[in-house]
Structure 1
Amino acid sequence: MTTYSRLGEARTASSAQRLPSPRAPADLHSEVRWKSADAIVVEVTGEIDACTAPRLAATLAGHVRARPAALRVDLGEVGFLGSAGLQVLLKARRDAEAVGVHLVVDPGRSHAAVRALQLLGQLGTPAF
């Protein structure tokens, strides 16, 4: 049987043990830097993780559907590139190949992007 006093004690005890604050939501921006009939250059900045990967996937899918001869994804300002982001890039590559679009993923000076793409290559996946 639970009494009111026990509930009060439980509240006091649980409030003393505070949980850590959740991580701030990741931020991702993509912007078309160049667009012509033959090529599109998309600059991506921020973090590519499980929270932001769907936005990147939608952006890249839209550009692939436009069917330029070449689509360049500039990751030079990416601070984090997780497995969800790598999955998006791999799917974009498959989709681009299927419609004849040459996809180029440029890690630029982003240590996170360079390292993630190197690891992907070490796993036997062809580099971009």
Structure 2
Amino acid sequence: MTTCSRPGEARTATAHDRLPSPRAPSDLRTEVRCKSADAIVVEVTGEIDGRTAPRLRATLAGHLRARPAVLRVDLGEVGFLGSAGLEVLLQAQRDAEAADVHLVVDPGRSHAAGRALRVLGDLGGPVF
């Protein structure tokens, strides 16, 4: 493979010049661990990115419509939490406040979720 740095000049591409390999397709699973009139616990597993965020949004919105006293979102098995996922969590927080539901977002042992939530808090966002 060759690349050109100036018109008419060719050079061999190095590993540094190549684009990174795309990430494997992301996957997201949600499972209700506990459901009662007082609380719903949803365990989220996988990656929360632009492709999977709409599914998480729909899941959380459905549980908020039930108006439990507490909705707990366990992110302990999340491998990636991107900006689309943070936006879903922020919207869920606004929706929970409007529905008088206490939303708890627990990063658990997920380094990705913990790091993303810390950055959000550092930027003045809610501390779930």
- Shorter-chain TM-score: which interval? 0.7 to 0.9
> When the two structures are superposed, what TM-score results if normalisation uses the length of structure 1?
0.82
1:111 corresponds to: 111
1:4 corresponds to: none
SS of residue matched to 1:89: helix
SS of residue matched to 1:126: coil
The 1:20/1:111 distance shift into structure 2, 3 A limit, reads: closer
Q: Which runs of 5+ in 2 are unaligned?
A: 1-18
Return the offset for 1:24: 2.6
SS of residue matched to 1:42: strand
The 1:124/1:20 distance shift into structure 2, 3 A limit, reads: closer
Return the offset for 1:41: 0.1
**1:79 corresponds to which letter in structure 2?**
G
Detail structure 1 runs of 4+ shifted over 4 Å in the superposition: 19-22
Distance (Å, rounded) in 1 between the aligned partners of 2:21 and 2:104: 38
1:84 corresponds to: 84
Identity within the alignment, % = 82
> When the two structures are superposed, what TM-score results if normalisation uses the length of structure 2?
0.82
Whether 2:41 is the aligned partner of 1:46: answer no
Return the offset for 1:125: 1.0
**2:32 corresponds to which letter in structure 1?**
V
CA shift digits 1:40-81 (9 cap, x unpaired): 000000000000000000000000001000000000000000
Per residue, is there more helix in 1 or in 2?
A: 1
Q: CA RMSD in A?
A: 1.4
Residues 1-128 of structure 1 aligned to structure 2 (within 5 Å):
22-128=22-128
* Residues paired across the two proteins, number: 110
